[in-house]
Amino acid sequence: MNPSKKIDQRIAELTDWRGQRYAELRALIHQAAPELQEDWKWDTAVWKLQTNVCAVSQFKDHVKINFFKGVELDDPDALFNSGLTSKHHRSINFAEADVVRTEELAVLIKQAALAD
């Protein structure tokens, strides 16, 4: 199965708020950096150019967007709330009640794509 279909399948399997959030993040990635290609690695949705740029994954109580080179990104809006001690990655965990700050997140996504 191709990566986009696997991502479609994952979203469909998540029948609660996590599926909606996953789909929202996917759409924002496509909008902010349409040059990124969908891939499926480690049972997770990954977007890449020459290397892995970001990934979206679900957990019991949150949905995460992970930036593989997050430490290199400028985050003036302090969106990163996870992986803050990692040497490379930075991520944002979204709980059900959290609001996605789409404009600020789109800037991070674009920046990550350009850094690849």
Measured CA distances, 1 to 4, 7, 46, 112 (Å): 8, 10, 15, 27
Question: Residues 47-78: pLDDT tens digits?
Answer: 999 999 999 999 999 999 999 999 999 999 99
pLDDT at 98: 97
The DSSP element (H or E) to which 103 belongs, if any, is helix 102-115
pLDDT at 7: 98
Q: Which residues pair with 67 in a beta bridge?
A: 54, 90
pLDDT band at 46 (very low <50, low <70, confident <90, very high): very high
Contact between 55 and 47 under an 8 Å Cβ cutoff? The reply is yes
pTM (predicted TM-score): 0.96
CA angle 39, 42, 24 (to 5 degrees): 55
What are the residue ranges spanned by the domains of the chain? 3-115
Nearest to 53 by CA among 68, 37, 35: 68
| pLDDT at residue number 116 | 81
What is the CATH class of 3-115?
A: alpha beta
Digit-coded pLDDT (tens) for 2-38: 999 999 999 999 999 999 999 999 999 999 999 999 9
